[in-house]
Amino acid sequence: MIDIKLIRENPEIVKENIKKKFQDEKLPLVDEVAALDKEFRAAKTSADALRGDRNRISKEIGKLMGQGKRDEAEAAKQKVKDMEQELLATEKKEEELQARIKEIMMIIPNIIDPSVPIGKDDSENVEIQRYGEPVVPDFEIPYHTDILESLDGLDLDSARNTSGNGFYYLMGDVARLHSSILAYARDFMINRGFTYFIPPFMIHGDVVNGVMSFAEMQNMMYKIEGEDLYLIGTSEHSMIGRFVGRTVKEENLPYALTSYSPCFRKEVGAHGIEERGLYRVHQFEKQEMVVVCKPEDSMAWYDKLWQNSVDYFRSLDIPVRTLECCSGDLADLKVKSCDVEAWSPRQKKYFEVGSCSNLGDAQARRLGIRIKGENGNYFAHTLNNTVVAPPRMLIAFVENNLQADGSVKIPAPLQPYMGGQTVIKPAETKKNTL
């Protein structure tokens, strides 16, 4: 949510930003909110004046009574009574105008950073840099579900019976690998100075509205029936929510946090063949990064966050690239965002495994997260980024570590978490060696 002062003083900047995001249908909202804001401020001025007059006349009533001027006192009482009615009506109008202004402001997109490339959708995102050499082996790489099933590590059929499409059972060495990837990510971020959290996995509706747009909420969040609780789609939601209504001390910043959670998502819409299996699921686990900082530090933190993801994947020898999200692909709260994509030797292309976002002060404005500085209070900046999100990361992992004999090698950083195991063998091989 942007500062309404920007609409009052520079509405053309807001309109130009809307055009850059190819959301021309929202252009009339700028003039509408400007007119409503003018009306709101007039109503507020009127209400303040009424309160002042009411208080002044109320004080005079006692004096008039003390002077024996009963008739004048009664007339003053009636005047106060009339003012009360007028004030109630004005305050109601104030309330209604404020609610409508907030409703509109929640859907006017945040001002994007000047460095963001202009484009209509994700097809116009821009590659920034590649890390590691993409390799395509001289043997065929099966689809990831086939690899995991051959390792006796995945059961989709049973999950369909218990829960439906978009769910899965991980088993044996593959389940242990999944947990190892997360445990290594946790320690990786702790070693980089981040504080480890396990947050609540459900949050109230006001927190949801504070951390994301209504459209995102509708497409992502599961609501608990009969309660003001939503299952989180990422731990960023509850981690940023932890600061609701707080004024943090400038000297305590930045807060660099890393959090583990399960994540629950509706994943509304149809997806292609490359998004079946474990690519788009309704539940998964993730290690996240969240930063709350001073505005002048947020871009430096943005670069640190995506670099952490790159370094994590490269430590496991998985080639990745960073992709700058263009203006039309940015969610409305974001100032700047990039995706980290891992190499798929089967598809011979990269696919998304994480996303890094700078949201400026948008979430802080919605949730009332302020910084107490020497010259007064001001809104914090918030950022988030994925460290790793298996099971999607498993796709990149097994494809890049698959051997010609069907086994999957385990890189050195993960071996301590796997009890020293260096390879996961296909189920038939395991049986033959028993």
pLDDT of residue 271: 54
Residue 115 lies in a domain: no
CATH number assigned to the domain comprising residue 25: 1.10.287.40
133 and 100 co-located in one domain: no
Calculate the average pLDDT of the chain.
93
Choose one of 71, 105, 139: the last residue of a domain.
Answer: 105
CATH number assigned to the domain comprising residue 187: 3.30.930.10
52 and 132 co-located in one domain: no
**Which whole number is the average pLDDT over 313-325?**
98
The model's confidence at residue 434, banded by pLDDT at 50, 70 and 90, is very low
Helix pair 392-401, 172-190: axis angle to 10 deg: 100
Higher-pLDDT residue of 270 and 106 is 106
152 and 79 co-located in one domain: no
The pLDDT tens digits of the residues spanning 117-152 come to 999 999 999 999 999 999 999 999 999 999 999 999
pLDDT-wise least confident of 57-61, 142-146, 405-409: 57-61
249 and 342 co-located in one domain: yes
Choose one of 52, 73, 105: the last residue of a domain.
Answer: 105
**pLDDT of 160 above 50:** yes
**Which whole number is the average pLDDT over 243-253?**
96
The pLDDT tens digits of the residues spanning 257-300 come to 999 999 999 976 545 545 578 988 999 999 999 999 999 999 99
Instruction: Say how many domains are in the chain.
Output: 2
143 and 60 co-located in one domain: no
146 and 21 co-located in one domain: no
The domain in which residue 240 lies consists of 122-433
The model's confidence at residue 69, banded by pLDDT at 50, 70 and 90, is confident
312 and 195 co-located in one domain: yes
Higher-pLDDT residue of 55 and 21 is 21
312 and 386 co-located in one domain: yes
**pLDDT of 56 above 90:** no
pLDDT of residue 261: 97
Strand order in the sheet with 126-131: 126-131, 320-324, 336-344, 349-358, 381-388, 283-293, 255-264, 195-197
**pLDDT of 431 above 50:** no
Choose one of 76, 105, 134: the last residue of a domain.
Answer: 105
The model's confidence at residue 324, banded by pLDDT at 50, 70 and 90, is very high
Residue 193 lies in a domain: yes
225 and 313 co-located in one domain: yes
The pLDDT tens digits of the residues spanning 355-378 come to 999 999 999 999 999 999 988 999
Residue 183 lies in a domain: yes
pLDDT of residue 118: 98
**pLDDT of 228 above 90:** yes
128 and 85 co-located in one domain: no
97 and 239 co-located in one domain: no
Residue 385 lies in a domain: yes
**pLDDT of 168 above 90:** yes
86 and 160 co-located in one domain: no
Residue 112 lies in a domain: no
The model's confidence at residue 62, banded by pLDDT at 50, 70 and 90, is confident
**Which whole number is the average pLDDT over 31-36?**
97
